[in-house]
A and B are shown apart, each in its own frame.
Chain A
Amino acid sequence: MNNAARESILGSIRSHLAASLPFDSLEHPVHPENPVILSKPDSPPQSLLELFAQSLESVAGHCIITTDISDALKQILTALKAQRIAISDSPQVERLLHAADLEIELGVALNAHDIFRFDVGITTAQAAIAETGTLVLDSACERHRLVSLVPPVHIAIISASKICETLSEALTLLRSGEEISPAVTFITGPSRTADIELTLAIGVHGPQELYVIIDGST
Chain B
Amino acid sequence: MNHLSSETFRENARAALADAHLRGALKNATSLFGEKRKAAAASLPNWEDLRTQASAIKDEVLSHLDGYLEEFVGKAEARGAQVHWARNAAEANSIICGLATERKARVVVKSKSMTTEETHLNDALEAAGMQVVETDLGEYIIQLAEEPPSHIIAPAIHKTRGQIGELFTAELGMPPTDDVAQLTSTARATLRDRFAAADVGISGVNFAIAETGTIVIVENEGNIRLTTSLPRLHIAVMGIEKVIPRFADLDVFLKLLPRSASGQRMSAYQSFITGTKRRATDEGPEELHIVLLDNGRSRMLAHPVTRQSLACLRCGACLNVCPVYQQVGGHAYGSVYPGPIGAVITPQLMGIEKAAQLPYASSLCGACREVCPVKIDIPRLLLHLRGEITPRKGSVAERLAFKLWARAMMSPALYKLSSVAGRLLQRVMPISKAWTSGRDLRPIESKSFHQLWSNE
A interface, CB within 8 angstroms of B: 1-2, 5-6, 8-10, 12-14, 16-17, 19-20, 23-24, 26-27, 30-32, 36-39, 41-42, 55, 59, 112-113, 116, 131-134, 139-140, 143, 145-146, 149-150, 167-168, 171-172, 174-175, 179-199, 201, 203-207
Main secondary structure of the interface of B (DSSP, over half): helix
Task: Spot the interface stretch: B84-92, B333-341, B426-434.
Answer: B84-92
Complex partner residue of A186 from B157, B184, B269, B299, CB under 8 angstroms: B269
Known A-B contacts: A1-B83, A31-B60. Give 10 more (CB < 8 A). Answer: A8-B87, A10-B69, A23-B304, A30-B56, A55-B265, A167-B255, A172-B248, A197-B161, A197-B180, A204-B137
Find chain A residues with CB under 8 A from B302 CB: 16-17, 19-20
Complex partner residue of A182 from B183, B270, B278, CB under 8 angstroms: B278
How large, as a class, is the contact surface on chain B?
A: 35 or more
CB of A129 to closest CB in B, whole Å: 8
Task: Spot the interface stretch: B224-232, B401-409, B438-446.
Answer: B224-232
Does B413 touch A at the CB level, under 8 Å? Answer: no
B interface, CB within 8 angstroms of A: 25, 28-29, 32-33, 44-46, 49-50, 52-53, 55-56, 59-60, 63-66, 69-70, 79, 82-87, 91, 95, 135-138, 141, 154-157, 159-161, 164, 180-181, 183-185, 187-188, 191-192, 195-196, 212, 214, 220-223, 225-226, 229-230, 240, 247-248, 250-252, 254-255, 262, 265-278, 282-284, 292, 294, 298-305, 307, 375
Evaluate contact between A145 and B270: CB separation under 8 angstroms: no
Q: A196-B137, A198-B33 are in contact. Are A13 and B65 (CB under 8 A)?
A: yes
Find chain B residues with CB under 8 A from A185 CB: 225, 269-272
Find chain A residues with CB under 8 A from B52 CB: 32, 36
CB of B176 to closest CB in A, whole Å: 15
Evaluate contact between B221 and A206: CB separation under 8 angstroms: yes
Instruction: Give the one of A19, A181, A196 with max B CB within 10 A.
Output: A196
Q: A8-B87, A41-B45, A183-B271 are in contact. Are A197 and B251 (CB under 8 A)?
A: no
Evaluate contact between B65 and A188: CB separation under 8 angstroms: no
Evaluate contact between A171 and B251: CB separation under 8 angstroms: yes
CB of A106 to closest CB in B, whole Å: 18
Find chain B residues with CB under 8 A from A23 CB: 303-305
Find chain A residues with CB under 8 A from B161 CB: 196-197, 199
Evaluate contact between B180 and A191: CB separation under 8 angstroms: no
Evaluate contact between B278 and A201: CB separation under 8 angstroms: no
Complex partner residue of A195 from B83, B137, B191, B270, CB under 8 angstroms: B137
Find chain A residues with CB under 8 A from B86 CB: 5
Evaluate contact between A31 and B229: CB separation under 8 angstroms: no
CB of A115 to closest CB in B, whole Å: 9
Find chain A residues with CB under 8 A from B136 CB: 195
CA distance A133 to B195 in the complex (A): 28
Evaluate contact between B154 and A194: CB separation under 8 angstroms: yes
CA distance A37 to B83 in the complex (A): 35
Q: Across the A-B interface, give the 7 residue pairs with the lowest CB-CB distance, nearest first.
A: A206-B222, A195-B138, A205-B222, A12-B298, A191-B222, A16-B301, A186-B270
Find chain A residues with CB under 8 A from B247 CB: 171, 174-175, 180
CA distance A6 to B17 in the complex (A): 45
